[in-house]
Structure 1
Amino acid sequence: MDKQVQDNELVEVAMQIILHAGDARMKTEEALEQTKNFDFAGAKEKLVEAKECIRKAHHAQTQIIQDETRGKTYPPSLLFNHAQDTLMTIMSELNLANSMVELFEILDKKYSKDGGNNE
């Protein structure tokens, strides 16, 4: 396979990763907005959607990594590195958002149950 074909393949995969990771970030932000409105069911639904976007991005990345373990080489690519960095960052944001939604739901249940009395 010639270098230009490999470059194009890597660019295409990098763009898929960035696209899906970006969709995950939007879904995560929507989940946090719903959490502000105490819509925990809606927030959890958005987090599930975000996780599916991350799965798609991770799958695209994994294909390249598996190709390299089988001996297929790719030239260094700043765009692919950026895509991987974007994916890792948004995965961290999603993990943190999951914890935040869970925490706020626990607090809401506690304060709804005892009328806000923290004794």
Structure 2
Amino acid sequence: MVASPPTESRLRTLKQLGADYAVHYDMHDLPDDLDALSAVRAHYERFGLPWKVAEAGPAIDRIVLGKEGAAEQIERYKRIVGKLGKLGVEVVAYNFMPQVSEDAMVVRTAFDATTRGGART
């Protein structure tokens, strides 16, 4: 279950509902410092929710679009993923699509467009 933002009230409610672990939904706000990441884990664990999943980040817009700064985003992504592994986070979910605005990740004109290799999008 996702509690975004992961407030004390929401995490307490999730635990009461029977959640077994935490899903941190917005990795954009995650630091790449191990001590700071450990504090995020400790926040979840105070409510009996081990941090098992990190979803939706870190930022990859420059990587996806091939823009200046892509190499730095790759290095930051690698640092965070490595440190998440050290902390016992088992799943890092990502969405490899460019962010076109703050509240939209994808723009579609059709769901049946044919693309490279005959794939349909």
TM-score computed with the length of structure 1 as normaliser: 0.34
The structure whose residues are more often helix, as a share, is: 1
Return the structure number with greater strand share: 2
